[in-house]
Amino acid sequence: MRKVLAGVAAMVAVCGAAGPAGAVGGGPEADLAYHGAASMSAGQAYVRFTPRNHGPSAVPDATVRLRWSEPLADRQELPAGCARSGPSGVLCRVGALAADDLGEQISLRVRLRDAPTEVLLELDTVWNGGAVDRNRANDRQRVLVLDTGDEYYF
């Protein structure tokens, strides 16, 4: 448990210290994107997505933030590489992505504090290893998810 918490603390420290994704500077240019699906049923939200780097340069490491418009339940079982971020958010490590390459699919299920009839899910890159991403439209997703069990694609 201590090892997991130390890794999460390091991930959060790096995200805060490295600056936001897409920051203007002299770093290599990359284009991160996220595509997947989200669903919700009885207060449980499920999301799965695959990160992609359209290039032209590789990304040495990246972190994506997922935020729900409703607070999460206090206790969550998150997959390795993901950590709680505030009352309604989760950070997940994407890892390194070569230019024009797909990353590993990320899947997680979270419990919402209440059982809302709908929730807005927002995904965005919070750290991309210093790369410059001039196309922020495809790494920022907003998905309205209704409590129907249906999948909503992004």
Domain that holds residue 70: 2-153
DSSP-assigned letters across all residues of 5-32: HHHHHHHHHHHHHH--TT--SSSPB--E
The pLDDT of residue 25? 59
- 16-28 residue pLDDT tens: 434 445 445 568 9
The average pLDDT across 135-145 equals 93
Structure token digits, residue 20: 């936001």
Mean pLDDT, rounded, for 131-149: 94
**Model pLDDT, residue 137:** 87
For 1, half-sphere exposure in the C-beta direction (CA atoms, 13 angstrom radius) is: 1
CATH of the domain at 76: 2.60.40.10
What strand order describes the sheet that includes 63-68? 82-84, 89-93, 63-68, 118-127, 140-146
Domain count, the chain: 1
Query: What is the model's pTM?
Result: 0.83
Please list, in sequence order, all residues whose beta carbon lies within 8 angstroms of the beta carbon of residue 10, skipping any fewer than 6 positions away: none
- Assess whether pLDDT exceeds 80 at residue 82: yes
Residue with the bigger pLDDT between 151 and 5: it is 151
Q: What single letter denotes the amino acid at residue 142?
A: R
129-147 as b/e: b if 16+ CB within 10 A: bbbbbeeeeebebebebeb
- 143 to each of 15, 23, 38, 69, 124, how far by Cα in Å? 24, 25, 8, 11, 12
